[in-house]
Amino acid sequence: MIERKFQKPAYITTTLPYVNSDPHIGFALEIVHADIIVRYKKACGFDVFFNTGTDEHGIKVHTKALEQGKDTQAYVDEYSQKFRDLIGELGLSSDINFIRTTDESHKKSAQAFWKKCFEAGYIYKKNYSVKYCIGCELEKTDSELVDGKCVFHPSLAIELIEEENYFFKFSAFQEKLLALYSERPDFVIPASRFNEIKAFVESGLKDFSISRLKTKMPWGISVPSDDTQVMYVWFDALVNYVSAIGWPSDMKKFEWYWHVIQFAGKDNLRQQSAMWQAMLMAVDLAPSEKIIIHGFLTSAGQKMSKSLGNVVNPKEIVSEYGTDALRYFLAREVSTFEDSDFTIEKFKESYNANLANGIGNLTSRIMKMAETHLAEPVVSVSENSENAIPQEFKDFLDAFEIQKATDVAWKYIADLDSFIQQSEPFKLVKTDREKALGLIKEMVTSLYTIAGMLDVIIPQTAEKIRSAIAQNKMPSTPLFARKD
């Protein structure tokens, strides 16, 4: 697809979704965007470690298991598998690493991380009272609440927690975090989110609780040297970014891959770009390379929620329209960084216009002409198109601008379609066969270049196009059957 450079490491990870509900389209957005960048990095010659998984501790998960009358471990096993199934359903890179925070190896890493923070003097114990959102699994200040409710979970009551817990000295890292942000002007993408986190840190940092009493919340990783407490779910889950690549048991692997690009939603901004970075500083590990923040998906202008009955299950979309149809929509019809709206009507309209009538129809038209008029496949196509991927396409992916990169691919599709309309080789072949055959070969070569771009976006379709070109035959079935 793209000219290979010398091999160097890259580490790309999503957040770990909670296993308190079925996978929803919001997480599909995050993991498909991450997979597009993974495929692009691999094509550029990077040795990529791709990580996802499930966050399986905390009060939300434990409560959900109790509500269903299930053993908590059995419950998380069941729901973790549903997220693992997304690998096939969304056409994700087959070598993806799937970590579970209930894995014994992760538990050991989390406890080792805690010990290093404690030994460095950044963990202490105290009595406290705090307002807490169970939806975010985060403490909240009055300034973060609207009418006493969390803006992300307005249907959930804010809880008041009063107990003795361990705290992380977040306040000790204000200047170090601001220095990091100053040194890395593109540390958080997009810039609007970077400005948001800089303002948060500049306003002053408060130490945050990192444990819970085991008698109140038994489902968690035990705090080293204190069996009365378990780790707060965010502390435990964030450590997965280093435990997944071997810290601290396999430092050779860790040091090779620790150049991490983290994908996360806007509700994770503080945890990813401030809390986690301070935790890394506490144990003398290098900060993350980049944090890529995406927006939310709404449905007909409303936040998706079970109570409204408007939650979109990606598995159902894939079952009806196919894997690449959903990947295309999430890449091009959804903003890379801002909130976007999803309705099945909009999805179907886009599917017919841009897939069935777009790349699908274009491929059929070109390969029908090639099959009819060319005696053999266009042999030079792979040689000529390897370096023909538009620089603009690569530049946008280098900047994580997935929607804009996909727009480039579809501009090439539209331009090639216009070229067919203007040149009409299917008519010209009757009066100037040699010129017509030259035009058809040119179109096949352009189609191959388009397939090179689609490799990272809709890989199954890209492979079907290349196969048709190699066989010099029109696909036996439409790439995307029209939906009425």
Q: What is the pLDDT of residues 417-470, one digit of tens each?
A: 999 999 999 999 999 999 999 999 999 999 999 999 999 999 999 999 999 999
> Is residue 381 domain-resident?
yes
State percent of the chain over pLDDT 90. 83
> Is residue 416 domain-resident?
yes
Q: Which pLDDT belongs to residue 309?
A: 75
- Longest alpha-carbon distance in the chain: 90
> Is residue 163 domain-resident?
no
Query: 81 with 315: CB under 8 angstroms?
Result: no
> Is residue 419 domain-resident?
yes
Band of pLDDT at residue 381, cut at 50, 70 and 90 = low
> Is residue 311 domain-resident?
no
User: Is residue 103's pLDDT more than 80?
Assistant: yes
CATH code, domain carrying 413 = 1.10.730.10
Q: Which pLDDT belongs to residue 158?
A: 84
| 142 CB burial (10 A radius; 0-12, 13-18, 19+) | exposed
> Is residue 59 domain-resident?
no
Say how far apart CA 4 and CA 43 lie, in whole Å.
Answer: 6
User: Is residue 386's pLDDT more than 70?
Assistant: no
Number of domains in the chain: 1
24-41: average pLDDT: 97
Q: Output the six-digit token pair for 388.
A: 């023909």
Q: Output the six-digit token pair for 169.
A: 């000295």
Q: How high is the mean pLDDT of the chain? A: 93
- Look up tokens 């890209």; give the residue: 462
Q: Which pLDDT belongs to residue 212?
A: 93
SS3 of residue 350 by DSSP: helix
> Is residue 454 domain-resident?
yes
The range of the structural domain enclosing residue 355 comes to: 343-471
Q: Which pLDDT belongs to residue 148?
A: 80
Q: What is the pLDDT of residues 253-310, one digit of tens each?
A: 999 999 999 999 999 999 999 999 999 999 999 999 999 999 999 988 887 766 677 8
User: Is residue 147's pLDDT more than 90?
Assistant: no
> Is residue 456 domain-resident?
yes
Q: Which of 105, 113, 46 is nearest to 246 (CA)?
A: 105
